[in-house]
């Protein structure tokens, strides 16, 4: 009887090892089902295709020129829509806009730099301190230039905005448009 037990244990062990693929008994069809499909448009033989190209950068930021500008590779109406959505996402205070002139009128605080401090309870009771300085009004100007759109920043009088303010606003727009 010990021989039958040894034979049973041996056959059971061989069956278990074959089931887990230790002897290479895995069906080719089963192996293909385990691997994710190749969704690329490469060759049907399953050879590795080149990785997809990354989309081009969403515009070119030109800070060396006077005035600083952002060149967007979109027609005017697409650039208008994207810049408007980006301004909203960045939290700019939009005072007005004029689509026919390609202008967004926004309030911007250069000292805030994206971080606003919450007013405490005692600060809100300090009515004698007066109104804080109003934020400066800037115009984000979009102009057609062939197949692209040029974005510049001016002050409310139409003069060039201070270089550091224009660079900061255009940099924020460029980073969010990627």
In this structure, the number of other CB atoms found within 10 A of the CB of residue 112 comes to 11
DSSP 55-118: PPPS-EEE-SSSS-EEEESS-HHHHHHHHHHHHHHHT-EEEEEETTTTEEEEEE-TTTTT--PP
Mean pLDDT of 49-58: 47
Collapsing DSSP to helix, strand or coil, 177 comes out as: helix
Model's pTM, two decimal places? 0.57
Locus of tokens 């041996």: 10
Amino acid 133: pLDDT: 53
- C-alpha torsion sign, points 84, 85, 90, 93: positive
Residue 83 and residue 104 in contact, taking contact as beta carbons nearer than 8 Å: yes
Q: What is the pLDDT of residue 14?
A: 67
User: CB 59: neighbour CB atoms within 10 A?
Assistant: 24
The band of 43, judged by pLDDT with boundaries at 50, 70 and 90, is: very low
Task: Give the least confident one: 10-14, 106-110, 140-144.
Answer: 10-14
- SS3 call for 18: helix
Pairing status of strand 93-98 against strand 103-108? antiparallel
119-140 per-position pLDDT tens digit: 555 655 655 555 445 678 999 9
Instruction: Pull the structure tokens for residue 137.
Output: 């009004």
Q: Within 13 Å of residue 80, how many CA atoms lie on the same side as its CB?
A: 13
Structure confidence at residue 17 (pLDDT): 63
The pLDDT of residue 166 is 92
Mean pLDDT, the chain, integer: 75
pLDDT tens digits, 104-117: 999 987 666 544 44
Is residue 135 a contact partner of residue 109, using CB atoms and an 8 Å limit? yes
pLDDT tens digits along 151-171: 999 998 889 899 999 999 999
| pLDDT (average), residues 71-83 | 94
* Res 98: pLDDT: 95
Residue of 46 and 123 predicted with greater confidence: 123
pLDDT of 53 over the 50 cut: no
Domains and CATH numbers, the chain: 74-112+134-178 (3.30.310.170)
Q: What is the average pLDDT across 1-11?
A: 69
pLDDT band at 72 (very low <50, low <70, confident <90, very high): very high
Four-CA torsion 107, 112, 118, 124, nearest 10 degrees: -70
């Amino acid at each position: 009887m010990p021989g039958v037990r040894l034979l049973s244990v041996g056959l059971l062990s061989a069956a278990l090892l074959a089931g887990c693929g230790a002897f290479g008994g895995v069906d080719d069809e089963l192996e293909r089902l385990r691997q994710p499909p190749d969704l690329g448009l490469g060759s049907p033989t399953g050879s590795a295709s080149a990785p997809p190209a990354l989309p081009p950068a969403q515009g070119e930021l030109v800070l060396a020129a006077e005035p600083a500008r952002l060149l967007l590779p979109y027609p005017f109406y697409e650039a208008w829509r994207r810049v408007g959505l980006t301004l909203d996402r960045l939290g700019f205070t939009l005072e007005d806009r004029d689509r026919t002139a390609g202008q967004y009128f926004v309030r911007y605080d250069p000292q805030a730099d994206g971080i606003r401090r919450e007013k405490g309870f005692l600060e809100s009771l300090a009515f004698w301190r007066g109104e804080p300085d109003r934020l400066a009004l800037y115009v984000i100007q979009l102009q057609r230039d062939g197949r692209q759109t040029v974005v510049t920043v001016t002050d409310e009088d139409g003069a060039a905005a201070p270089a550091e303010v224009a660079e900061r606003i255009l940099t924020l727009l460029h980073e969010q448009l990627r």
